[in-house]
Amino acid sequence: MKYLFASALLCTSFFVKAQDNFGAVFNQINTDVQQNSKAYQTLKYETETIGHRLTGSPNGAKAEQYAYDLLKSYGCEVKFQPFEVESWARKTINVEIGADKSNLTKMKAVTLAHSPVSADITGDIVDAGNGLEVDYQANPAKFKGKIALIYLGVLPGSPAGTKSLHRSEKTAIATKYGATGVIIINTVKNGVLLTGTASVTGKLIPVPAVCIGLEDGMALKEKLKTQPQVAHIAMTNFSGLIKARNVIATFKGTEMPKDKVVVGGHLDSWDLATGAIDNGIGSFAVMDMARTFKKLNLKTKRTVEFVLFMGEEQGLLGSKAYVEQAKNAGNIGQVKFMLNYDMTNDPKGFSTSRAEMKELFTAWGADIAKIDTGFKNLFNAGAGLHSDHQPFMLEGIPTGGGAGGQLPNNSGPYYHSDGDSFKLVDEQGLKNTVRYSAMLTYALANTPKIPVGVQSEAELSAFLEAQNLKEPLTIAGEWRWK
C-alpha cells in the first residue's frame, strides 16, 4: 500500500510539474494574442475582398490561396492538400404555393444543397410535423407522391424529450416514405432563410428540397388544417467534379514527431453571405493560433497540424479527404487527437468526446483561469456529428475544442443565411478563442501521456451508441456495425 501511495504521489507531482511548466508559456501566448492577433483584421479583409468561400467556386479557390499565403507570411511550413470531389452550387429557384393549381403565389425560398440539378414538380403538400420517423408511421401512405412540409427543429407543443435530427436526415426520412419534394420551415423570425445540405451522403438527393421562412411556414401549416395546399417547385443547380484544397501548416514535434495533434476549422462557407461566423471565426482563429506558435517559436513534443478544411458545408468533404488520404498512406494512426473549431467564440472551457480527459483539461484550464478570470474552466464531455471532427471520431480518434461560449451579437439566427456578415464578429471574443485554444493545443501536444487512445471497433461502436448517434449514422449510411 505504501508503494502504491508513493507511486500515486510521484505521478501527481509529475503532472503538477508538467502543468507548472505550461504556465509560463500560457502567459506568453496570452500576451502575444492580446497584443498581436491578426484574426479580426484578416477575416475583415477576406470578407471585404473575396466574399463567400463556397467550395469549388472561384471565391473558394481565392480563399484557399489567401489562407496559404497568410500562413506563409507568418513563416509557417505550409502546404495544400488537394482533393477532387463531386460538388454542388445553386442556380435558379422558383417556389409557388396556393390552394388552386391555376393560381399559385410565389413564395420566398432558398434551395437546400444537393437538390437535383433540375427539378420541376407540382404536388399536394402534406404536413410532416417535425419530420421524424414517428411523424410518418401513423399513416405512411399519405406521404407517397406528395411534398412534405417539415419543421427544421422541434415544434412547440411536441412531446417532452422529442429530439430533433439534422435537415439532411429529415430529408432522407421523407424520401424513404415516398415524398417527391421537401419544404423545410426555418425556425428564425422575420423571414430569415437558411441554406445547407439536404443530403446525408454529400451526393445528390432524388427530390428537390427548399427552405422557407418561419412566418410563411407556420401560416402554411395553419391553412393545411382547413384546406388542401399545392406547391410548384422549379429549380436548376450545378453538380459535378471540382478540385479543392485543404491548407495545412505543420509544426514538427521534437520528441514524438509521428504523433499528431490536428487543430482544424473549415475555411469554406455557403454563398448567401460572407460566412463570417460560419466559419470565419473558427478558421481565422486556427490561422492565428499558427501565427502565435510561429511568432513565439513554440516547441512541442508531438507534431501539430493546423488545418483549414474545405467542403465542410457540402458534406465534410475536406476532412473526409484528409482522413481518407491518411488511411491510404497508412498513417491515420499518427493522429492522437483532433481539436475542431466550428463557429467557436469566446470559449469558457473545453469540450471533448472523451470524459477521461477531464483531469488534464481542467488542470490546464485552472492555469488559464489564473491568467483571465473570464475563462470559467467549464468541462463538457460528449459527442455529436455534422462538423469536421466527425470523420476523425469515426476512426476512434478523440476529439475536442472550446466549450461554453456564446455566438457574438445575436448571430445564431443568421446561421447559413444571407445575414452572416462581418459586422456580427466580436474582436475580443475571437481573440479569446485564439489564446485559450492555442494554450490547449500547446499543452495537449506537450503532455507526457494523453490518457485516451484510439478506440477499437468494439469500443467505438459501443461509445457511439451510448452517445445516441446510431440512428443518425444509420440514416446517413455510416453505421458500419451489425
Is the same domain home to 261 and 171? no
For residues 158 and 265, state if they share a domain.
no
Residue 292 shares a structural domain with residue 425: yes
Vertex 131 angle, CA 157 and 113, to 5°: 130
| Residue 195 and residue 201 in contact, taking contact as beta carbons nearer than 8 Å | no
CB burial readout 170-209, b (16+ within 10 A) else e = bbbbbbebbbbbbbbbbbbeeebbbbbbbbbebebbebbb
Q: Tell me, what CATH number does 80's domain have?
A: 3.40.630.10
229: number of Cβ within 10 Å: 19
Asked which of 202, 237, 272 is the last residue of a domain, the reply is: 237
Cβ atoms of 55 and 479 within 8 Å: the answer is no
Residue at a domain's end among 186, 221, 237: 237
Kind of pairing, strands 335-340 and 209-212? unpaired
Q: Do 189 and 276 share a domain, yes or no?
A: no
**Number of other CB atoms surrounding residue 156 within 10 Å:** 7
Pair 398, 358: CB distance under 8 Å: no
Residues 52 and 104 in one domain: no
Q: Are 200 and 211 in contact (CB under 8 A)?
A: no
DSSP string, 126-177: EE-TT-SHHHHHT-GGGGTTSEEEEESS--TTPPTT-----HHHHHHHHHHT
Are 346 and 386 part of one and the same domain? yes
User: CATH number of the domain that 218 lies in?
Assistant: 3.50.30.30
Residue 80 lies in a domain: yes
> What string of pLDDT tens digits covers the 482 residues of the chain?
433 333 333 444 344 444 437 999 999 999 999 999 999 999 999 999 999 999 999 999 999 999 999 999 999 999 999 999 888 999 999 999 999 999 999 999 999 999 999 999 999 999 999 999 999 999 999 999 999 999 999 999 999 999 999 999 999 999 999 999 999 999 999 999 999 999 998 899 999 999 999 999 999 999 999 999 999 999 999 999 999 999 999 999 999 999 999 999 999 999 999 999 999 999 999 999 999 999 999 999 999 999 999 999 999 999 999 999 999 999 999 999 999 999 999 999 999 999 999 999 999 999 999 999 999 999 999 999 999 999 999 999 999 999 999 999 999 999 999 899 999 999 999 999 999 999 999 999 999 999 999 999 999 999 999 999 999 999 999 999 99
Mark whether 148 and 72 lie in a shared domain: no
**Rounded CA gap, 478 and 394, in Å?**
9
Same domain, 230 and 284: no
Q: Got the DSSP string for 400-411?
A: EEEES---GGG-
Query: Which range of residues forms the domain containing residue 197?
Result: 89-237
Is 6 within the bounds of a domain? no
Distance CA 411, CA 429 (A): 13
- Asked if 247 and 217 sit in the same domain, the reply is no
Within a domain: 245: yes
Same domain, 273 and 341: yes
* CA triple 381-383-388, angle to 5 deg: 120
Total tally of structural domains belonging to the chain? 2
Q: Is residue 5 part of a domain?
A: no
Within this chain, do residues 193 and 325 fall inside the same structural domain, yes or no? no
Evaluate whether 392 touches 399 at the Cβ level (below 8 Å). Answer: yes
Q: Single out the residue in 211, 237, 263 at which a domain terminates.
A: 237
Instruction: Look at strands 399-403 and 335-340 and give their pairing.
Output: parallel
Say whether both 170 and 146 belong to one domain: yes
Instruction: Please check whether residue 15 lies inside any domain of the structure.
Output: no
